[in-house]
């Protein structure tokens, strides 16, 4: 599996934090990942990022687990549609460098936290490593479009930007609504909200409501907690619980 192969190639710089990171992150719900995948991903990224500040390191690992779940949710529907029915081939929505975590609008926000800026920097470094690894097998970049887009698709899986991971064009939305009998609406709304949000804090990188609605859509027989039954506003559903709520002032610039 490409994701696991890349994780196993990551240099292991410090193992001291692995047990603590596993305890802090593996206990969270990851309904679209196996326990083995979760633990392996935490261990490999923790060993690679070990020397980094604990709060930042755990936030980046939590983000990667979230993105992997989004990737799994759209494994069949989105990839099949984009590969066969894209209305704007050959690149579709991958026509610019949307993988950059913070765009001009984000950077101009007067509320940018040091934590979010540090996360964006670290994710950017991991994007370079992931893309380079996925190009080693003979894949080549498709010129004229996103600089991380290969001829056979994106070279990122774990560290797509929030915009890339959550963007769904109108044609794909219509296809998913038709396929689900109109039940995909709440999940699509959560995706749209996150994709279009300004990134100014760690909570803006992900949206727990995406996972909640995907569970209801694809795994409707799973028991719901009382909180999951109550509708949540987009802002209330942002994934604050996914990321450590440390004082941003603790982090280096």
Residue 253 lies in a domain: no
pLDDT, tens digit (0-9, with 9 covering 90-100), for 130-180: 999 999 978 999 999 999 999 999 999 999 999 999 999 999 999 999 999
Residue 216 lies in a domain: yes
Residue 102 lies in a domain: yes
Residue 143 lies in a domain: yes
Average per-residue pLDDT for the chain: 87
Residue 29 lies in a domain: yes
Residue 145 lies in a domain: yes
d(CA 38, CA 32): 10
- Give the pLDDT of residue 243: 54
pLDDT, tens digit (0-9, with 9 covering 90-100), for 189-231: 999 999 999 999 999 999 999 999 999 999 855 444 444 444 4
Q: CA 217, 222, 223, 226 torsion: positive or negative?
A: negative
Tell which wins on pLDDT, 51 or 226: 51
Residue 252 lies in a domain: no
User: Which residue, among 219, 222, 148, 215, has the nearest Cα to 186 in the 3D structure?
Assistant: 215
Provide the percentage of residues in the chain whose pLDDT is more than 70: 85
Give the number of domains in the chain. Answer: 1
Cis-peptide, bond into residue 179, ω within 30° of zero: no
- Give the pLDDT of residue 253: 33
d(CA 214, CA 88): 27
Structural domain including 194 reads 2-242
């Amino acid at each position: 599996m490409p994701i696991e192969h890349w994780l196993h190639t990551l240099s292991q710089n410090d193992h001291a934090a692995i047990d603590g990171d596993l305890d802090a992150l593996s206990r969270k719900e990851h309904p679209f990942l196996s326990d083995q995948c979760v633990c392996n991903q935490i261990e490999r990224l923790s060993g690679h990022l070990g020397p980094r500040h604990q709060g930042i390191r755990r936030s980046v690992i939590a983000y990667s687990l979230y993105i992997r779940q989004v990737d799994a949710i759209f494994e069949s529907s989105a990839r099949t549609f984009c590969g066969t029915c894209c209305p704007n081939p050959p690149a579709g929505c991958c026509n610019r460098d949307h993988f950059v975590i913070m765009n001009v609008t984000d950077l101009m926000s007067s509320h940018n936290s040091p934590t979010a800026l540090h996360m964006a920097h670290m994710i950017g470094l991991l994007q370079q490593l992931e893309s380079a690894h996925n190009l080693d097998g003979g894949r080549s970049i498709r010129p004229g479009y996103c600089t991380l887009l290969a001829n056979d698709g994106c070279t990122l899986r774990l560290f797509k930007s929030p915009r890339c991971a959550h963007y769904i064009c109108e044609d794909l939305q219509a296809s998913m609504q038709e396929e689900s009998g109109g039940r995909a609406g709440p999940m699509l709304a959560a995706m749209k909200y996150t994709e279009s949000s300004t990134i100014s804090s760690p909570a803006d990188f992900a949206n727990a409501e995406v996972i909640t609605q995907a569970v209801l859509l694809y795994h409707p027989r799973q028991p719901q907690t009382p909180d999951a039954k109550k509708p949540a506003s987009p802002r209330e559903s942002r994934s604050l619980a996914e990321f450590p709520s440390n004082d941003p002032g603790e982090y280096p610039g």
